[in-house]
């Protein structure tokens, strides 16, 4: 199991709390958020992680040198911001397996990756998204699927009573992704997911596992409490 982690974010909305450091290094109970992602991927039996790095990557690579990890680790570094899509593309070119998992470096969604992969293979999907049902929210856009799980459309952020959101975990068919001849810099959400959704090769699988995105101070503070139980 190969997993790409997008870990190049600036964490602009968190800088008043964590200072000028990469968002994935935001400390949660004395450990970088990235350490908890590693613990989760270890539990999921991930065998190789490729980090897509950018902003202040030296902080991350220095920390990595001190870690004793269960899985093989590699990383690629953006010399300039490439967008979420460009970050995935650069890391994907280093991947070796047919299906590659991609995770956001500021999100913890504790989905069962093996179950997600079974769903992906059963549907011969090009890309599969792990979806999370949310209630009373305005921070996320929503994902629409048909009864078979095919993603039919995406909707922008607005206040909603309920909806399925993109949980920030993807399985991508490497060969099909690379065959799109995508540019070096692009948005994965806008220029890949939304652009090619009409081909009906993207699927969404709902998972009812723990989810948090630490991108805003309120949820970053909540992680400090939640992770004491989740990662004792």
pLDDT of amino acid 35: 96
Distance between CA 11 and CA 224 in Å, rounded? 17
Q: Which of 18-22, 91-95, 116-120, 160-164 has the lowest mean pLDDT?
A: 18-22
189 to 84, 124, 142: CA distances (angstroms):
8, 21, 12
* Statement: residue 128 has pLDDT above 80: yes
Q: Which of 20-24, 42-46, 109-113, 169-173 has the lowest mean pLDDT?
A: 20-24
Q: Are 183 and 83 in contact (CB under 8 A)?
A: no
Residue ranges and CATH numbers for the domains of the chain are: 2-133+162-230 (3.90.550.10)
Q: What is the pTM of this model?
A: 0.93
Residue for token pair 């290094």: 25
- 3 state SS for 53-90: ECCCHHHHHHHHCCCCCCCEEEEEECCCCCHHHHHHHH
Distance between CA 198 and CA 195 in Å, rounded? 7
Q: Are 228 and 29 in contact (CB under 8 A)?
A: yes
Confidence band, pLDDT 50/70/90 cuts, at residue 19: confident
* Statement: residue 153 has pLDDT above 80: yes
Confidence band, pLDDT 50/70/90 cuts, at residue 157: confident
Tell me which residue of 46, 50, 44, 42 sits closest to 7, measured CA to CA: 50
Q: What are phi and psi of 228, to 5 degrees?
A: -60, -30
Mean pLDDT value of segment 30-41: 96
In DSSP notation, 124-144 reads: T-SEEEEEEEEEEESSS-EEE
Share of the chain above pLDDT 70, in %: 99
pLDDT of amino acid 11: 66
Confidence band, pLDDT 50/70/90 cuts, at residue 117: very high
* Statement: residue 115 has pLDDT above 90: yes
Tens of pLDDT, residues 190-226:
999 999 999 999 999 999 999 999 989 999 999 999 9
Helices 33-43 and 217-230: angle between axes, nearest 10 degrees: 40
83 to 87, 114, 134, 143, 183: CA distances (angstroms):
6, 28, 26, 21, 11
pLDDT of amino acid 221: 96
């Amino acid at each position: 199991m190969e997993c790409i982690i997008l870990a190049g974010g600036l964490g602009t909305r968190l800088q008043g709390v964590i200072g000028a450091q990469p968002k994935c290094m935001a400390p949660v109970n004395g450990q970088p958020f990235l350490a908890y992602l590693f613990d989760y991927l270890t539990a999921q039996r991930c065998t190789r992680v490729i980090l897509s790095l950018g902003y202040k990557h030296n902080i991350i690579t220095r920390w990595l040198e001190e870690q004793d990890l269960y899985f093989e680790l590699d990383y690629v570094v953006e010399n300039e911001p490439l967008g979420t899509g460009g970050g995935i593309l650069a890391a994907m070119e280093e991947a070796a397996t047919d299906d590659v998992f991609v995770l956001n470096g500021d999100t913890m969604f504790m989905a069962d990756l093996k179950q997600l992969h079974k769903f992906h293979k059963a549907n011969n999907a090009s890309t599969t998204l792990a979806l999370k049902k949310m209630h009373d929210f305005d921070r996320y856009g929503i994902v629409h699927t048909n009864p078979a799980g095919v993603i039919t459309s995406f909707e922008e952020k607005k206040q909603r009573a309920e909806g399925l959101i993109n949980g920030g975990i993807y399985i991508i068919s490497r060969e099909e992704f690379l065959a799109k001849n995508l540019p070096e810099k692009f948005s994965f959400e806008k220029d890949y997911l939304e652009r090619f959704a009409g081909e009906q090769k993207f699927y969404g699988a709902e998972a009812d596992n723990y989810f948090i995105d630490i991108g805003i101070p309120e949820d970053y503070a909540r992680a400090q409490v939640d992770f004491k139980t989740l990662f004792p």
